[in-house]
Structure 1
Amino acid sequence: MLELKNLTKKFDKRIILDGVNFSIDDGKILCIVGQSGAGKTTLLRCISGLERADAGEILVDGKKFDPVNTKNQDSVIGIVFQEFQLFPHLSALENIMLAPELVLKETKVQAKEQAQDLLEKLSLKDKADLYPYQLSGGQKQRLAIARALAMKPKILCYDEPTSALDPALRDAVKKIIVALKKDGITQIVVTHDMEFAKQIADKILKVEVLKK
């Protein structure tokens, strides 16, 4: 279980997150919705360790968890970025292999075998040798998900996974997220799309812009 207790984040003197509390059980999907500027992405960045919260606690399975200083817990939380952030000089296969080799210390053979399995699972098997610029937006999205999954995260976060996708690709992403739930992965999805959230979420957290 992931729990947030009184999480607070400020930028300069502006309060972005003001005592956020929620919990999500293992293997469930939480959607964080709200208008632009309400702090959805900031909340996700605090959970994934890309920003440090100013106050409050994050707990995983009842134990305090610091996502910024994970040490040997690198595979606890993964994130799929809105802009994908793929390495342009690496092929699809190499993008997936890199972190498991560097962080998890997997051998090249282990990392390659896992990467090939993930590419096949996400219908990208024939794209293994292509570079990001040769992929469509939907293919880049699936590759970004595969790269995050390669780190074997307990919790997978997505920042606006459908924002640049047409309806058909939006449906494909929905199917991937629902399928991963069956694998027992806890997922947190930031989205502005309430209809999408209703289709996939076990729980919806609505955040609002704080009044000055």
Structure 2
Amino acid sequence: MLELKNITKKFGDRTILDHLNLEIPTGEILAIVGPSGAGKTTLLRCLSGLETPESGSFLLNDQPFDPTDPANADQIIGVVFQNYQLFPNLTVLQNITLAPKLVLKQDAQTATATALELLDELDLAGKEQLYPYQLSGGQQQRVAIVRALAMKPQVLCYDEPTSALDPALREKVGEIILNLKKKHMTQVIVTHDLTFAKQTADQIFTVNALDAQGGK
């Protein structure tokens, strides 16, 4: 169970998240929806440690954790960013294996074997020596998912995973998310796409632009 308790985040005098509470059972999918500027991405950034809330706490299986602590954050929360953030000067394989080797201290053989297995699962076998510019947008997104999974996170978050995809690729991303659910991966999706949210999520949390407290 992932729990967010009384999370408050401000930018200057503006309160973005006001004592927000969430519970996400292990292996379930939560979609966070709401208008632009309501705090969806801010909530994701707080959960992933990219922003520090003014107050509140995060718990996983009743154990507190600090998303901003680099010692363990990468293995708790993984993030697939909207613009993928792949390193353009590294191959697909290098993009995926860099963090496991540096952060998890995996040897090259283990990191490579894990990467190739994940690439195969996401229909990217044979792409490992290509560079990001040689991939389609949908392929880059799947590489970003593989890169996040290679860190063995307990929770995987997505920022607007369907924003630039055509209907076929949108369906493919939905399949990937639902397949990860079968493996008991807890997932959080920030999206403007309410239809996609309803098709994939176990619960939908709406962030309200007026009070930034949200509701189900």
The question of 1:140 aligning with 2:140 is answered yes
The amino acid across from 1:76 in the alignment is: I
Equivalent positions of 1:19-98 (< 5 A) are 19-98=19-98
Q: Alignment identity in percent?
A: 60
Paired residue for 1:118?
118
Partners of 1:53 and 1:128 in 2: how far apart? 38
**Equivalent residues of 1:89, 1:131 under 8 A apart:** yes
**Equivalent residues of 1:16, 1:210 under 8 A apart:** no
Equivalent positions of 1:126-165 (< 5 A) are 126-165=126-165
**Equivalent residues of 2:158, 2:189 under 8 A apart:** yes
**Equivalent residues of 1:15, 1:210 under 8 A apart:** no
**Equivalent residues of 2:101, 2:108 under 8 A apart:** yes
Partners of 2:78 and 2:13 in 1: how far apart? 29
The question of 1:169 aligning with 2:173 is answered no
The amino acid across from 1:57 in the alignment is: S
SS in 2 for 1:69: coil
**Equivalent residues of 2:48, 2:73 under 8 A apart:** no
Partners of 1:89 and 1:155 in 2: how far apart? 28
Deviation sequence 1:152-177 (CA, Å, 0-9, x none): 00000000000000000000000000
1:210 Cα offset (Å): 2.5
The amino acid across from 2:197 in the alignment is: A
Partners of 1:71 and 1:183 in 2: how far apart? 25
**Equivalent residues of 1:122, 1:142 under 8 A apart:** yes
1:72 Cα offset (Å): 3.7
Partners of 2:130 and 2:70 in 1: how far apart? 32
TM-score normalized with structure 1 length = 0.98
Deviation sequence 1:87-114 (CA, Å, 0-9, x none): 0011111111100000000000000111
SS in 1 for 2:158: strand
SS in 2 for 1:125: coil
1:129 Cα offset (Å): 0.8
Deviation sequence 1:108-167 (CA, Å, 0-9, x none): 000011111111011111211110011100000100000000000000000000000000
SS in 1 for 2:126: helix
Give the count of matched residue pairs.
212
Unmatched tracts of structure 2, length 5 or more: none
Where does structure 1 differ by over 3 angstroms across 4 or more consecutive aligned residues?
A: none
Deviation sequence 1:7-47 (CA, Å, 0-9, x none): 00001111111111110000000000000000000000000
Unmatched tracts of structure 1, length 5 or more: none
Partners of 1:2 and 1:131 in 2: how far apart? 35
